[in-house]
A and B are shown apart, each in its own frame.
Chain A
């Protein structure tokens, strides 16, 4: 079973638009991470936000974390065709397990 849920399951946007995806998790975490996966390939780490942080930026990425609601969001601004991929949140739990959500498939149309 998975620790988290993500929504939406799929997202289709126009190049230049912003993409927002949400993640919820169930138990206490040390941090929450976001990964990108291009079709059938390995996961690439995007950004990590610690449990005592509320917001973090990295380039075109903005992550928020609300530990009271056990939720996080990932915003990708000014999307590009190269952002087409699946995005996963992963909760790094206090018992050393990294648990992934089901992922959001993002398609950026040219």
Chain B
């Protein structure tokens, strides 16, 4: 157990639907990162939050949004889902805005399947 908790582990939904993925960072970590991993695109950085504020944005689609709550957990909302959104979605956390000596801690991911 890495200390980063992601729920749910698996999600199957239909095209056009909306889902919410949840991430609880490791205790004490202020930063949360979201990544999408697919076979054709590899690991893509989506967005980073630090202590509740958006810090950096990557290749996140307009149909996707995220937020980090006062208790530091984060949610990634995916709407108007398409088949191509099927992927593994990872959350990672770090103590501050950047990696300490131990890098980033990743959760075990949410596998999203859009049918």
Interface residues of A (CB under 8 A from B): 1-2, 30-31, 33, 35, 40-45, 48, 88, 90, 92, 95-103
B97 at the interface (CB under 8 A from A): yes
User: Which of B33, B44, B99 counts the most chain A CB atoms within 10 A?
Assistant: B99
Of the residues A41, A102, A103, contact of B108 by C-beta under 8 Å: A41
A100 touches B99 (CB 8 A): no
Main secondary structure of the interface of B (DSSP, over half): strand
Given the interface pairs A40-B88, A41-B109, A43-B90, the reply to whether A96 lies near B103 with Cβ below 8 Å is no
B43 touches A100 (CB 8 A): yes
A92 touches B99 (CB 8 A): yes
Q: How large is the interface on B (under 10, 10 to 19, 20 to 34, 35 or more residues)?
A: 20 to 34
Of the residues B4, B98, B101, B105, contact of A96 by C-beta under 8 Å: B98
| Chain B residues within 8 Å of A33, by CB | 99, 103-104
B18 at the interface (CB under 8 A from A): no
